[in-house]
C-alpha cells in the first residue's frame, strides 16, 4: 500500500534565522481505475481507501447504484520492472448483467487532484440522471447542530494534523453524528471515498444525512452528493454559481461559508429550521 505521508527536509526561515527541519507532506500518487480490466481513468490521490474511491467514482458516474452490482475490487500488478506491486492500479469487476461504463467516460489523461470533471465533453454530459431523487427527502437541519460539524470533522482528521495539506469529507447524521470521514489531496476524491464507503456498506441512498466538505462546494461535489442520494451538502467555504444552480434544480440543500454560528443557505432552505431571537422556532 502506498504511503499516506512522506518526509522531506526543508529550509525554514523565521525572522531571518534559517533552520533545516524535516517536514511531513501529504502523499500524492496516481491511481488508475479499471473496470472489467479496461482502463477508465487515472486520478491523482492520497493513497488509502482506494477501493472506496473506485466504488464512489463509479456511483458518481452512474455506472453502479448498489453494492451488489460490484462483484469485486482488487489491486492489479504494478508497473515496476521487478514486478513489485505499486498499489496504484485497481480493477473493479462488475456483477453479471451490469452494463460497463459508456466509452465516452474514458479519460485518456490524468485528472488532477483538484479537478473532478476533467475530460467531460460538455456541461450536459455531467448532468447525470440521479438514481434517487433528493428533493423529497424530509430531513430537517438545526443550525445549532450544523454549526458544530466543522469542529467535529477537524478533530477527526488524523492525517491533516501531521501535514496540514489534505481535504476532508464527512458524512453526518441529522443529529450531528459522524458516520464516515475520508481525507485526500483532492476534494472530489475525499467525497468519492465517502460515497464508496456508503455503497460498500449497503447504505445507498444515504438519506437523512449531511455531507460536509472542508473546502469550497463546486459543481462536481453537488453532483456526487445528488448521485448518492445525500440531501444536504455543507462547505466551510464558498459554492460556485453552477453548484448553486444544480443544487436548486435537484432539490439539494446547499450551505456555504459554514463558520462558527454563521452560514449561508444557497438552495433548499426549506430544510433548515429557523429560530427567532429568543431561540424559539420561527
3-state SS string for the chain? CCCCEEEEECCEEECCEEECCEEEEECCEEEEEEECCEEEEEEEECCCCHHHHHHHHHHHCCCCCCHHHEEEEEECCCCCCCCCCCCCEEEEEECCCCCCCCHHHCCCCEECCCCCCCCCCCHHHHCCCCCCCCCCCCCCECHHHHHCHHHHHHHHCHHHHHHCCCEEEEEEECCCCEEEEEEECCHHHHHHHHHHHHHHCCCCCCCCEEEEECCCECHHHHHHHHHCCCCEEEECCCECHHHHHHHHHHCCEEEEEEECCEEEEEECHHHECCECCCCCEC
Which of 146, 157, 154, 135 shows the shortest CA–CA distance to 234? Answer: 146
Per annotation, catalytic residue among 76, 115, 118, 180: 115
Is 180 annotated in the active site? no
Catalytic residue positions, numbered: 115
Amino acid at each position: 500500500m502506498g504511503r499516506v505521508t512522506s518526509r522531506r527536509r526543508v529550509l525554514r526561515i523565521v525572522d531571518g534565522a534559517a533552520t533545516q527541519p524535516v517536514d511531513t507532506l501529504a502523499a500524492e500518487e496516481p491511481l488508475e481505475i479499471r473496470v472489467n480490466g479496461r482502463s477508465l481513468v487515472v486520478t491523482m490521490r492520497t493513497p488509502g481507501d482506494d477501493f472506496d474511491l473506485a466504488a464512489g467514482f463509479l456511483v458518481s458516474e452512474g455506472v453502479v447504484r448498489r453494492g451488489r452490482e460490484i462483484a469485486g475490487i482488487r489491486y492489479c500488478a504494478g508497473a515496476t520492472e521487478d514486478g513489485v506491486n505499486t498499489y496504484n492500479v485497481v480493477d473493479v469487476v462488475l456483477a453479471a448483467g451490469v452494463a460497463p461504463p459508456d466509452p465516452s467516460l474514458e479519460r485518456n489523461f490524468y485528472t488532477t487532484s483538484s479537478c473532478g470533471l476533467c475530460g467531460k465533453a460538455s456541461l450536459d454530459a455531467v448532468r447525470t440522471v440521479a438514481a434517487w431523487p433528493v428533493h423529497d427527502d424530509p430531513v430537517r437541519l438545526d443550525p445549532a447542530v450544523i454549526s458544530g460539524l466543522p469542529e467535529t470533522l477537524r478533530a477527526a482528521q488524523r492525517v491533516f494534523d501531521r501535514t496540514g495539506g489534505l481535504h476532508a469529507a464527512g458524512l453526518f447524521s441529522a443529529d450531528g453524528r459522524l458516520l464516515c470521514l475520508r481525507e485526500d489531496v483532492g476534494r472530489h476524491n475525499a467525497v468519492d471515498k465517502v460515497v464508496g464507503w456508503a455503497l460498500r456498506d449497503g447504505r445507498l441512498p444515504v438519506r437523512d444525512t449531511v455531507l460536509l466538505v472542508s473546502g469550497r462546494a463546486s459543481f462536481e461535489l453537488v453532483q456526487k452528493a445528488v448521485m448518492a442520494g445525500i440531501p444536504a451538502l455543507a462547505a466551510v467555504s464558498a459554492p460556485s454559481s453552477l453548484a448553486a444552480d444544480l443544487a436548486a434544480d435537484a432539490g439539494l440543500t446547499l450551505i456555504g461559508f459554514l463558520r462558527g454560528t454563521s452560514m449561508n443557505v444557497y438552495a433548499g432552505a426549506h430544510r433548515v429550521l429557523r429560530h427567532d431571537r429568543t431561540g424559539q422556532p420561527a
